[in-house]
């Protein structure tokens, strides 16, 4: 049970940007703080920009800024929107599912409920991390 | 966010054995029902045997039988005991964690709480699957 590295670095990038507010951040800074590859972070930052979580401003004070109010961004949403693999087990994917028990089996329902509970907890945490109110 | 194939097949093997009770099951049967490799299932069944979930009886009526009362086996326990990777993100593993924000960051706490909620749901489901009481 692992989140992808891509997902792992996404909230981390946003948390760093939140801490540095109202300053801009650079990918070089992120690379130093998290000690991960520059190449990998370029992709993460680009994706977070596309989702509006980060904003790439041009001009004299240009740079990467937080794109949203950190009190309104839930960690659950960030994880949900960056984790592409949310199929916990084979039968979640009707296309590849070869299991003959599926019609009678309630395992999938239990796992979906468990996944919902997982995100339910993360939804209550905001980017400016403090205990859920 | 995926469980390993090994974990995916473990509750499935037990569910099949529960359905077939009091009959024994064979790995060949499991291979046919789930359409997965015999080699892979041998490892899963061996591990489930070591944990006491399955029992390999010898003798004339020998074969693989369910090793526990299916009303008492929680799906949460099966997943917890077969999924070796429970480190959702890098900072869960103190050995490999290179992140400098860890001491001040509350992301790990949120993720641990989310993981606990995930297992909390599965703990309420028993092998003889019915809605949690």
> The complex's ipTM?
0.84
B11 falls within a domain: yes
Interface test with A, best of B110, B129, B133 (most A CBs within 10 A): B110
**Residue A12 at interface with chain B, using a CB cutoff of 8 Å:** yes
A129 falls within a domain: no
**Residue B36 at interface with chain A, using a CB cutoff of 8 Å:** yes
B130 falls within a domain: no
Question: For residue A104, what pLDDT is reported?
Answer: 61
Least CB-CB distance to B16: which of A88, A101, A122? A101
Residues 103-122 of B with CB under 8 A from A: 105-107, 110-111, 113-115, 117-122
Give residue-wise pLDDT tens across range B46-99.
999 999 999 988 888 888 999 999 999 999 999 999 887 777 777 777 787 777
Query: Could you tell me the CATH number of the domain that includes residue B95?
Result: 1.10.10.10
A109 falls within a domain: yes
Mean pLDDT of all residues in chain A? Answer: 85
Between A97 and B79, the higher pLDDT residue: B79
Say whether A99 and B129 touch across the interface (CB within 8 A). no
This prediction's pTM: 0.85
A77 falls within a domain: yes
Say whether A121 and B117 touch across the interface (CB within 8 A). yes
Confidence of residue A64 (pLDDT cuts 50, 70, 90): very high
DSSP state of B51: T
Give residue-wise pLDDT tens across range B58-71.
888 888 999 999 99
Q: Is the pLDDT at B100 greater than 80, yes or no?
A: no
- Which domain does B91 fall in, by range? 5-123
B93 falls within a domain: yes
Give how many domains chain A has, as a whole number: 1
A130 falls within a domain: no
Q: Is the pLDDT at B33 greater than 90, yes or no?
A: no
């Amino acid at each position: 049970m692992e989140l992808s590295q891509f997902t792992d670095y996404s909230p981390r990038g946003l948390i760093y940007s939140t801490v540095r507010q109202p300053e801009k951040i650079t990918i070089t800074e992120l690379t130093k703080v998290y000690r991960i590859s520059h190449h990998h972070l370029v992709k993460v930052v680009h994706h977070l920009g596309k989702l509006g979580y980060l904003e790439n401003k041009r001009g004299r004070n240009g740079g990467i800024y937080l794109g949203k109010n950190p009190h309104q961004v839930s960690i659950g949403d960030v994880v949900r929107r960056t984790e592409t693999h949310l199929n916990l087990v084979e039968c979640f994917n009707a296309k590849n599912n070869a299991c003959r028990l599926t019609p009678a089996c309630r395992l999938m329902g239990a796992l979906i409920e468990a996944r919902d509970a997982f995100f339910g907890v993360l939804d209550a945490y905001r980017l400016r991390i403090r205990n859920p109110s």
